[in-house]
A = this chain, B = another copy of it.
């Protein structure tokens, strides 16, 4: 009955399309595609097959030490040995210095095959970025080579039990204990892979507060706290009083331990300046947010693949428009329009999200190279909460469709659909909930730049429409896109005006603004993909790699139409809701809420 739960095929064709045909600089992509193929191989052969087992076995804690499921431990070792951890890291520290566009695809492939696995490398790479950007040379040379090699992993230790998103409340303390060296004391919760038995050391990046630092986030400093220190003989065996005091029982990602960590006078080394910890943390956080967007995209993709496989195989009912599979006692699910609606919804979210992800990765690569304009940096800053918030939300929807397409079997562990749904549920919560992304987008990124960041994007929309005025085949899409490119800033102005009188107006509009922005952003990428695919089909442009896969390109054009006809209309509801203002939310008293 069940399709094979461990099946996953990396969407290399679509990734190649984005890298070759959609990228601004499509040169030298063959090498990248070769590497992507190897990543696909690793994910398909080593990660997908252990996904269900990891969920079932989970992690255990004994004497302050977490044991991973054995297959997960082996996969982390194998991942390091193959050199994947350093794929986009500088050569200076042993990395391969490959571009973020590639790393973004690799990240999606890993998380799509095995969400629980992918979190540890993602956190490690983000920790490396923070150390690279803010750490002293000594910290860099001591820790980065081991981390880039995947011999040691990294964590982000921010949250404490009384403060989830509200980092200003952090109580973990730091006391100076020599130049650049501190004693760290406090407890942190929700630390992914805070303890594990796959590597010899774990490098924690810990937010803590010096005794005389100001309250709030401006009094936080960032410290590098290794689980093990170097002993007198130069071996990394000395205990640093870092221990895991609990692991959470949770809904999903069972193969990745969510740890409560205790630092009892642990030695920490400052990363960056005193009281500037939040900046370093946000540098790390923004990359993690793009990575989390990749988790949403990977979830859409895997959900689609699992659903399509089932819909092609499973027979149920006859088509409303007449028998399709005469040799069978019922037609395959895929003949039913409503099943197709769900399949295509998953597919346009996966491919549309991926196009957005690739676009962000190009900007991120420029940013890493120090070769980015102020406008483009603002654009990346704005697209980050859209990518994180929107792609993870539609990831959940896609996983829910996967269950729905499987019917009752979707509720059963055997098919694996329910694991996608459970594992994926974390993505709208961590690295800032959707509500946090929405506030960041509307408040800081859009209104905070007087709409400049948004105009950078709507300019791209205008440009696409203008460049394709003669494109009759896609004119219906483009005219809709043109309408939205005007409407989006107009809505922003209206809300901005209200928010100047009362900032709660921004809060009240923020979620609908985020979702509206997501739908419109993906509409741009779908229009662009359809135009590109059509031009390739018509021979107006030549494929970069010389191959023309007509079915893939035809599907692109048709999927774009589906997106505009059946998905983009959701923006109508979000528009209406965001314009309704705050009063229906805020006029209700707490007593009335409880009445």
**Which A residues contact B (CB, under 8 angstroms)?**
1, 13, 159, 161-166, 168-169, 190, 248-252, 258, 308, 312, 315-317, 319-321, 329-330, 334, 336-341, 343-344, 347, 396, 400, 403-404, 407-414, 418, 421-422, 425-426, 428-430, 433-435, 438-439, 443, 502-504, 506-508, 510-511, 549, 551-552, 554-555, 558-559, 561-562, 565-567, 569-573, 575-577, 580-582, 584-595
Q: A594 to B308, Cβ gap below 8 A?
A: yes
Q: A320 to B250, Cβ gap below 8 A?
A: no
List, in ascending order, chain B residues with CB within 8 A of A428's CB.
404
Q: B576 to A249, Cβ gap below 8 A?
A: no
The complex is assembled from copies of this chain, and their number is 2
Q: A566 to B580, Cβ gap below 8 A?
A: yes
Q: B566 to A584, Cβ gap below 8 A?
A: yes
Q: A591 to B433, Cβ gap below 8 A?
A: no
Q: How far is the CA of A558 from the CA of B592 in the complex (A)?
A: 9
Say which residue of B429, B438, B504 sits within 8 Å of A403 (CB atoms). B429
List, in ascending order, chain B residues with CB within 8 A of A506's CB.
320
Q: B163 to A316, Cβ gap below 8 A?
A: yes
Q: How far is the CA of A582 from the CA of B566 in the complex (A)?
A: 10
Say which residue of B338, B413, B552, B591 sits within 8 Å of A511 (CB atoms). B338
A320-B507, A329-B169, A504-B321 are known contacts. Are A337 and B585 too (CB-CB below 8 A)?
yes
Q: B321 to A503, Cβ gap below 8 A?
A: yes
Q: How far is the CA of A438 from the CA of B562 in the complex (A)?
A: 20
Q: How far is the CA of A308 from the CA of B595 in the complex (A)?
A: 11
Q: How far is the CA of A293 from the CA of B248 in the complex (A)?
A: 33
Interface CB pairs A-B, < 8 A, 21: A13-B595, A163-B316, A164-B316, A165-B317, A166-B330, A248-B412, A251-B411, A251-B422, A334-B593, A337-B585, A340-B585, A340-B588, A344-B585, A403-B425, A404-B434, A411-B425, A411-B429, A555-B592, A561-B584, A565-B577, A572-B576
Q: B414 to A429, Cβ gap below 8 A?
A: no
Q: A408 to B421, Cβ gap below 8 A?
A: no
Instruction: With both chains docked as a complex, state the minimum distance between the C-beta of A254 and any C-beta of chain B, in angstroms.
Output: 11
For the residues of A in contact with B, the DSSP-based class is helix
Closest residue of B by beta carbon distance from A410: B429
Q: How far is the CA of A593 from the CA of B510 in the complex (A)?
A: 35
Say which residue of B252, B317, B410, B504 sits within 8 Å of A337 (CB atoms). B504
Q: A1 to B161, Cβ gap below 8 A?
A: yes
Instruction: With both chains docked as a complex, state the minimum distance between the C-beta of A530 and any C-beta of chain B, in angstroms.
Output: 12
Q: B407 to A429, Cβ gap below 8 A?
A: yes
List, in ascending order, chain B residues with CB within 8 A of A588's CB.
340, 344, 555, 558-559, 562
A418-B250, A504-B321 are known contacts. Are A584 and B562 too (CB-CB below 8 A)?
yes
List, in ascending order, chain B residues with CB within 8 A of A250's CB.
411-413, 418
Instruction: With both chains docked as a complex, state the minimum distance between the C-beta of A499 and any C-beta of chain B, in angstroms.
Output: 9
Closest residue of B by beta carbon distance from A309: B594
Q: A426 to B411, Cβ gap below 8 A?
A: yes
Closest residue of B by beta carbon distance from A549: B595
Instruction: With both chains docked as a complex, state the minimum distance between the C-beta of A432 and any C-beta of chain B, in angstroms.
Output: 10
Instruction: With both chains docked as a complex, state the minimum distance between the C-beta of A427 and any C-beta of chain B, in angstroms.
Output: 10
Instruction: With both chains docked as a complex, state the minimum distance between the C-beta of A540 and any C-beta of chain B, in angstroms.
Output: 20
Q: How far is the CA of A589 from the CA of B559 in the complex (A)?
A: 11
Q: A334 to B590, Cβ gap below 8 A?
A: yes
Q: B396 to A400, Cβ gap below 8 A?
A: yes
Instruction: With both chains docked as a complex, state the minimum distance between the C-beta of A11 and any C-beta of chain B, in angstroms.
Output: 11
Say which residue of B164, B581, B585, B592 sits within 8 Å of A407 (CB atoms). B164
A166-B316, A562-B584, A592-B555 are known contacts. Are A338 and B508 too (CB-CB below 8 A)?
yes
List, in ascending order, chain B residues with CB within 8 A of A396's CB.
400
List, in ascending order, chain B residues with CB within 8 A of A554's CB.
592, 595
List, in ascending order, chain B residues with CB within 8 A of A571's CB.
573
Instruction: With both chains docked as a complex, state the minimum distance between the C-beta of A328 and any C-beta of chain B, in angstroms.
Output: 10
List, in ascending order, chain B residues with CB within 8 A of A163's CB.
316, 330
Q: A591 to B551, Cβ gap below 8 A?
A: yes
List, in ascending order, chain B residues with CB within 8 A of A339's CB.
435
Q: Of residues A163, A308, A403, A408, which shows the largest number of chain B Cβ atoms within 10 Å of its Cβ?
A: A408
Q: How far is the CA of A409 from the CA of B248 in the complex (A)?
A: 10
Q: How far is the CA of A329 from the CA of B216 in the complex (A)?
A: 10
Q: A551 to B595, Cβ gap below 8 A?
A: yes
A404-B435, A558-B588 are known contacts. Are A338 and B166 too (CB-CB below 8 A)?
no
Q: How far is the CA of A28 from the CA of B587 in the complex (A)?
A: 36
Q: Of residues A339, A567, A573, A581, which shows the largest number of chain B Cβ atoms within 10 Å of its Cβ?
A: A573
Name the 8 nearest CB pairs between A and B, nearest first: A569-B576, A337-B507, A320-B503, A565-B580, A337-B508, A572-B572, A251-B418, A555-B592
Instruction: With both chains docked as a complex, state the minimum distance between the C-beta of A458 and any C-beta of chain B, in angstroms.
Output: 22
Q: How far is the CA of A321 from the CA of B586 in the complex (A)?
A: 11
Q: A412 to B249, Cβ gap below 8 A?
A: yes
Q: A411 to B252, Cβ gap below 8 A?
A: yes
Closest residue of B by beta carbon distance from A508: B337
Q: B166 to A317, Cβ gap below 8 A?
A: yes
